Amino acid sequence: MRISVAADELTGVAERVVAALRERGHELTLHGALADGERPDWAWASEAAARDVVAGRADQAVVCCWTGTGASIAANKVPGVRAALCGDAETARGARVWNDANALALSLRTTSAALLDEILTAWFEAAPSGEHDDIANVRHLDDIH
């Protein structure tokens, strides 16, 4: 899978996210502090990763900042992106199943390496729900302005 990854600093699990995704066989595009010559700030880096998803250059994004909140907000400003801030595996699974989330937001501060692996496993093992109500909710997101 093609994944666009953004982080605003090389602290916490920033570099571990990249390594873990590569270990899982994903093709990565890096942004922010993870890429040479890019503005590292969370708003710019997360926007770049989210735009990769919308443009079809990436299937999904993983966006990171100190709390994960700013990265999530920035990614969600890009129409067509459904970013979920996930601090545990069950939230990650639910975000994929019920919300068809296409961007995972992570806190560099609170996500340990062990927790990261649990979150990534849950995220990539889950698939969007085929239930009518879940599909209707996700489709309705495009109508909210």
Q: What angle do CA 33, 123, 139 make, to 5 degrees?
A: 100
Backbone φ, ψ for residue 9 (5° rounding):
-160, 160
Of 93, 91, 89, 84, which is closest to residue 115 (Cα–Cα)? 89
Strands (DSSP E) found in the chain: 2-7, 27-32, 60-65, 83-85, 103-107
The Cα–Cα gap between 3 and 8 comes to 17
Exactly one of 5, 18, 30, 65 is catalytic; name it: 65
65 is catalytic: yes
Catalytically annotated residues = 65
